[in-house]
Amino acid sequence: MATRTRPDGGSGGLKDSPPVDFTQAVGRRQPRPTVAWLAQVVSGVLLLVLMTVHMVAQHFVVEGGLRTYQDVVAWIRNPVVFAIEALLLLTVTWHGLAGVHAVLLDLGLRGRAERVVARVMRGLAVVTVVYGLWLLATIASRG
């Protein structure tokens, strides 16, 4: 049989793609995946601490669990609080978007498409952190 109709087209929806070559990357150690893994581990452990501090300090210390406007401003003006929240923002944005990137890799993202997506996500991370820091600084400067 020269051609066969297979239920999934041979690669799950990518009906016209060639068979996968599994011999790639032979002989060359790539730094990226190991470093990416380490970054997720370190940021994850950091988040376990920072997130716990954040949740306890933000919601389990104040009466009723939610601060009024005045309380928020007073709270964020504290330089230690500001620093911790800024670090949390940085860490969670990195860890979260790297995680989304990993899910896309799980769905088969590879090659040039993967490089484009990685660049977009890095850009998104920068925008998110910049906006968050600006928001923190603006509120802290009020009152």
Partner 1 sequence: MSDRRGLGTVLLRVFRYRNGDGAPRYDEFRVPVGPRTTVLDALLGVRRRQDPTLTLRHSCLHASCGTCGMRVNGQEVLACVTRLDGLGDRVVVEPLAGAPVVGDLVVDMEGFYGRLEPSGRPLLRASELADLERFEDCIECGLCLSACPVVATDPHYLGPAALAAAGRLLEEPRGADREAVLGWVDDAHGAWRCHAAFECSEVCPAGVDPAGAIMRLRRRLLRDRLSRLAGLHDREARP
Partner 2 sequence: MTGKGLRAAGGRHPSRWLDPRGRHLGTWAFVLNRLTGLGLVAYLYLHLIVLSTLLRGPDAWDGLVAVFRRPVFLALDVLLVLGLAVHGLNGLRVALVGSGLLVDRHKALLVAAGILVGLVGLVAAVRTFV
Q: Which residues bind partner 1 (CB under 8 A)?
A: 1, 4-12, 14, 19-38, 105-108, 110, 114
Identify residues 5-64 at the interface with partner 2 (CB under 8 A).
6-9, 11-13, 37, 40-41, 44-45, 47-48, 51, 55, 59-60, 64
Q: What is the DSSP letter of 126?
A: H
The string over 1-32, giving b where at least 16 C-beta atoms fall within 10 Å of a residue's C-beta and e elsewhere, is eeeeeeeeebeeeeeeeeeeeeeeeeeeeeee
Least distance between partner 2 and beta carbon 7 (Å): 3
Q: Pick one of partner 1, partner 2, none as the site partner of residue 93 (Cβ within 5 to 8 A by kind).
A: partner 2
Q: In the numeric block, which tokens belong to residue 129?
A: 């952190």
The piece of 23-31, 109-117, 133-141 that touches partner 2 (CB under 8 A) is: 133-141
Q: How far apart are CA 92 and CA 117, in angstroms?
A: 19
Q: Are 25 and 34 in contact (CB under 8 A)?
A: no
Residue 140: count of CB within 10 angstroms of its CB: 19
Binding site for partner 2 (CB under 8 A): 6-9, 11-13, 37, 40-41, 44-45, 47-48, 51, 55, 59-60, 64-70, 72, 92-93, 96-97, 99-100, 103, 107-108, 128, 131-132, 135, 138-139
